[in-house]
A and B are shown apart, each in its own frame.
Chain A
């Protein structure tokens, strides 16, 4: 697992208040436990601070799954 992949998992765990072991590729907004609209804002803040970026609002809205997060972060120069 790359360093950024590990950071992404930690950011999800911190943002969604989940044990890191529960963070998986299958996480989906609204259908995964703990990932509601309030947790989503915490997740975006967590991703911002972890990768030292300021995600565009449209990207924050678009970030609907773990896989999508990886795809969006690539736009900000994060390599996995």
Chain B
């Protein structure tokens, strides 16, 4: 049985990593997709990966979620394409590490605009499409850093903690409309986002993961798909850690 059969979904940041894995997994589970990201090349690669699992060709939208004008244009394109959205995955995000004394105002704005403002805007947009159907699921991709913090990641941690707060508040507000809002909080996942972690730091990190290994983007994607689907029809306002026991 395919858990997203007949569902339509919008995934942001779908050109690589967890976003791409989520696109492929949700297509495998029967969803028809709208994928957005800044890179058309990356989106095309994701579309090819979907083709390999015999999923329907997704609609690709080049969009910078940090730019409200670009985001609004993407939403208008989605509205002209479909009047029904069953799920939204807010995955687009950036990582800008810096110690507290070295954080610039521009860096804070860039991270907040991409990781937080965009999540609120897309939830606004998606819920407008979901409300008339009295049904929908929103999954926000947060991070274990938003729960536990980490040195050198004050801005990133603040942005992901904000995502968790926004998730809970939106869940309360949208529950009467039968729209669920949940978050996943990945731990250390084997994607390009961790490529710059120095080897000694990575060794330290590995000691904190109870399962003793990195997670994969596909493992996060499966949890996202589960939350997007009706398999979790009575779950809202929750944060699901996908971290191999890091947060225990």
Interface residues of A (CB under 8 A from B): 45, 48-49, 54, 56-57
Report yes or no: B131 in contact with A45, Cβ–Cβ below 8 A: yes
How far is it, in angstroms, between the C-alpha of A57 and the C-alpha of B128 when the chains are bound?
A: 10
Task: Say whether B48 faces chain A, with CB atoms less than 8 Å apart.
Answer: no
* 9 sample A-B contacts, Cβ–Cβ < 8 Å, listed by A number: A45-B128, A45-B131, A48-B128, A54-B75, A54-B76, A54-B79, A54-B128, A57-B121, A57-B124
Instruction: Write out the residue numbers on chain B whose beta carbons fall within 8 Å of the beta carbon of A49.
Output: 132
Beyond A48-B132, A54-B76, A56-B72, 10 additional contacts (C-beta under 8 Å) are A45-B128, A45-B131, A45-B132, A48-B128, A49-B132, A54-B75, A54-B79, A54-B128, A57-B121, A57-B124
Give the Cβ gap from A76 to chain B, nearest Cβ, in Å. 12
- Chain A residues near B121: list those with CB within 8 A: 57
With the chains together, A24 CA to B14 CA distance in Å? 47
Write out the residue numbers on chain A whose beta carbons fall within 8 Å of the beta carbon of B75: 54
Count class of interface residues, chain B: under 10
B50-93: contact bitstring with A at CB < 8 Å (1 yes, 0 no)?
A: 00000000000000000000001001100100000000000000
Query: In the bound complex, what is the Cα–Cα distance between A63 and B131 (angstroms)?
Result: 19
Among all A-B residue pairs, the 4 with the closest Cβ atoms: A54-B79, A45-B131, A57-B124, A49-B132
In angstroms, Cα B128 to Cα A56, docked, is 11
Alpha-carbon separation in the docked complex, A24 to B75 (Å): 33
Per the bound structure, the CA–CA distance linking A62 and B244 in Å amounts to: 47
- Central interface residue in B72, B124, B128, B132, by most chain A CB within 10 Å: B128
The smallest beta-carbon distance between B219 and chain A, in angstroms, is 35
CA–CA, A54 and B132, complex, Å = 12
Cα of A57 to Cα of B121 in the assembled complex, Å: 9
- Cα–Cα, bound, A57→B246 (Å): 39
* Interface mask (B115-153 → A, CB under 8 Å = 1, otherwise 0): 000000100100010011000000000000000000000
**B76 proximity list for chain A (CB < 8 A):** 54
Query: Which residues of B have CB within 8 Å of A48?
Result: 128, 132
Shortest distance between the CB of A40 and any CB in chain B (Å): 13
Residues in B with CB closer than 8 Å to A56 are 72
| Nearest B residue to A41, CB-CB | B131
User: CA separation between A57 and B127, bound complex, in Å?
Assistant: 12
Complex CA–CA separation, A45 to B133 (angstroms): 11
CB distance from B78 to the nearest CB of A (A): 9
Instruction: Report the minimal beta-carbon distance from B85 to chain A, rounded to whole angstroms.
Output: 12
Contacts of A57 in B (CB 8 A): 121, 124
Chain A neighbourhood of B72, CB < 8 A:
56
Of the listed residues A45, A48, A49, A54, the one surrounded by the most CB atoms of chain B closer than 10 A to its CB is: A54
The answer for the CA separation of A48 and B131 in the assembled complex, in Å, is 11
Bound: A57/B124 CA distance, A: 8
A56 to B131, CA, bound (A): 16
Name the residue on B nearest A42 (C-beta): B131
A31 to chain B, nearest CB (A): 24
A36 to B17, CA, bound (A): 43
